[in-house]
A and B are shown apart, each in its own frame.
Chain A
Amino acid sequence: MIEILQPGILSSVQDLGRYGQRQLGIHPGGALNTLALISANLLVGNPREAAGLEITMGACEMRFRCDTRFALTGDDFDARLDGKAIAPYWSTPVRAGQKLKLSHCSRDGTPAIRTYLALAGGIATPVVLGSRSTDLKAGFGGHQGRALRKGDRLPLGEMRSALERIGGPAFGVRSPHWNGLAALPYDSSEHLTLRVLPGPEFEQFTVAARQSLWQEKWRITPNSNRMGYRLEGPELKRKLSRDLLSHGVVPGVIQVPPSGKPIILMGDAQTTGGYPKIGVVISADMWKLAQAPLNAQLQLQLCDLEQALHASTEQQDYLHQMEQTLAALDWSRASQYRK
């Protein structure tokens, strides 16, 4: 069990999402950065889909009530275990009574937004409609259907692997950034490049709008959340004024309301929408968007389906490689090097 001492701005239990019920109006939700949650789970010996915590903007503090092992992935919030620095993408054994504290910003002061915490055995809140994810809007799933509060106690599941995994040494893996998954030719420290497929209504926008989509920089406004990121940039005008009939939408869709200001839909977006869709961020780049801080500048880059599917394969290869490497670790030998 872990006890939440400080929940931070928004911390919630999330797994890989709630699927199969969109036709009942139930959105998939789940961790916005699934790559990070899966990595964290693998690092502590969990199955990929175990539930962990998604912690927004850091400033979260918790006490472990049992011996376990944890990993933090995604952004770095200068995490400290009883004051000792813990690097992201590391798997660390922990004793009952120890305290983990995340600061409100990263170690070097760079803006950060989300971090993921996995614990050996996974967070064992009840499965609701096929998932442990918290549906913050409809108020179910996760821990009592809400964001975490001070004093909440979260149960952990049975550990899948042998106990020596807990006792074994700390170790780390290369983050997706180190592995080159984040670096696109046009990425820079000033902006993040996202690859985008033209949406079903792309051709309905003016030539000027279609050009600005690819050429201008788009700022993520602070009025952004797990439902959608609102972007600031030039107004995107549509040639037609006819309303669309309500239709299914998915995370990654870039919809343009009559204001001309685009919104990128995220995991908690409603299942159907009515605004024209100028583009869709490829699924392999959604994790980068999950980690993009408020006010970050985005560069949208046109890509095709083949590139999108290739990028997905690269991402799966990264996870698969991590899985293989961790499976091959000789835990009994590793424990000889403790301390």
Chain B
Amino acid sequence: MMSQPQIHFLGDGALQCSLSPPATLKHQQRIWHIAEQAATWPEVAEVVPGMNNLTLIMHRPVSDFDSVTKRILETWPKGDSGGIAGRDIEIPVVYGGSAGPDLDVVARHTGLSTKEVIARHSNGQYVVYFIGFQPGFAYMGGLDPTLATPRQSQPRLSVAAGSIGIGGEQTGIYPQSSPGGWQVLGRTALSLFDPAKNPPTLLRAGDRVRFTVERIAK
């Protein structure tokens, strides 16, 4: 039996539904499913899945929070817990060298050779839990726990677009050049966010991601 979410007002135009930790993929699949349903409700303008939670942004003027709350609670236990139809996406990566300035840091921290770090990272099967923080930034689960490495104590002022990094137990890709504290292993030439495209982001919640070794730079 799936536990019911806690529902809170997030100001006068949004509702936030969250499940008790720990976060699991099974819970997240339910979140995607409810998000997909809720996006079709007439009162709901936008849905924002988070990590084991879901925010519903209402159309204004907001008339009836109660009916939406009731509908969430009714919908939650029902339906497919298999989530939504995610896509399989391969991301070619140049590991190491100037593309991956922190590959050595991760090797040292984990006690693995750089080759082994690359092998374990590119063997992983990752799932996009949700997109947030920046346009197209995917929060992914599935990192081999032996690769977990803390963030840098002092974030870099600029991390190149397409950089693939490890931050704690997560791995992710920087869609745009930005400041950042993740340990950067490599870089992809794929565009993660292009406002001229439809859809503008390469990834979306529910996608399954594999990193392939395009090249190992010296």
Contact = CB atoms under 8 A, between A and B. Distances in A.
Nearest to A199: B10
A171 interface: no
Contact of A128 (B60, B195, B199): B195
Given A24-B131, A305-B9, A247 B50 contact: yes
A271 B11 contact: no
A138 B134 contact: yes
Interface in A255-314: 270-272, 277, 280-284, 305, 308-309, 312-313
A338 to B, nearest CB: 39
Contact of B136 (A25, A277, A312): A25
A280 B11 contact: yes
A197 B12 contact: yes
B21 A24 contact: no
Contacts of A284: 12
Given A247-B55, A250-B57, A305-B65, A25 B12 contact: no
A188 interface: no
Contacts of A137: 134
A205 interface: no
Interface stretch (A1-9, A15-23, A49-57): A15-23
B16 A247 contact: yes
A247 B130 CA distance: 10
B23 A20 contact: no
A140 B131 contact: no
B8 interface: yes
Contacts of B54: 248
B142 interface: no
A243 to B, nearest CB: 9
Q: Which of A23, A128, A140, A280 has the most CB of B within 10 A?
A: A23
Given A23-B130, A138-B176, A312-B61, A245 B21 contact: yes
Given A250-B11, A250-B14, A272 B135 contact: no
A105 to B, nearest CB: 33
A245 B13 contact: no
A25 B62 CA distance: 24
Contacts of A172: none
Contacts of A151: none
Given A138-B195, A270-B133, A248 B13 contact: no
A138 B204 CA distance: 18
Interface in B115-141: 130-137, 139
Interface residues of B, number: 47
A312 B59 CA distance: 13
Interface stretch (B41-49, B96-104, B151-159): B41-49
B48 A248 contact: yes
B41 to A, nearest CB: 14
B10 A25 contact: no
Interface residues of A, number: 43
Interface string B179-218: 0000000000000010110011100110000000000000
Contacts of B61: 309, 312-313, 316
A309 B50 contact: no
B16 to A, nearest CB: 6
Contacts of A312: 12, 60-61
Contact of A25 (B47, B60, B132): B132
A222 interface: no
Given A197-B9, A283-B12, A309-B12, A248 B193 contact: no
A183 interface: no
A74 interface: no
A139 B161 CA distance: 13
A119 interface: no
B159 to A, nearest CB: 14
Given A248-B55, A280-B11, A282-B12, A25 B50 contact: no
Interface string A153-166: 00000000000000
21 contacts: A21-B200, A24-B136, A25-B133, A25-B137, A138-B176, A141-B195, A245-B23, A247-B50, A247-B51, A247-B55, A248-B14, A248-B16, A248-B55, A249-B55, A250-B14, A270-B132, A280-B11, A282-B11, A283-B60, A305-B12, A316-B61
Given A200-B9, A245-B51, 15 more contacts: A20-B45, A23-B49, A23-B130, A23-B131, A24-B201, A25-B133, A137-B134, A141-B195, A242-B21, A250-B13, A250-B55, A250-B57, A272-B133, A283-B12, A284-B12
Sorted nearest first, the 3 A-B pairs with minimum C-beta distance are A248-B55, A272-B132, A248-B48
Interface of B: 8-14, 16, 18, 21, 23, 35, 45-55, 57, 60-62, 65, 130-137, 139, 175-176, 193, 195-196, 199-201, 204-205
Interface of A: 19-26, 128-129, 135, 137-141, 197, 199-200, 242, 245-250, 252-253, 270-272, 277, 280-284, 305, 308-309, 312-313, 316
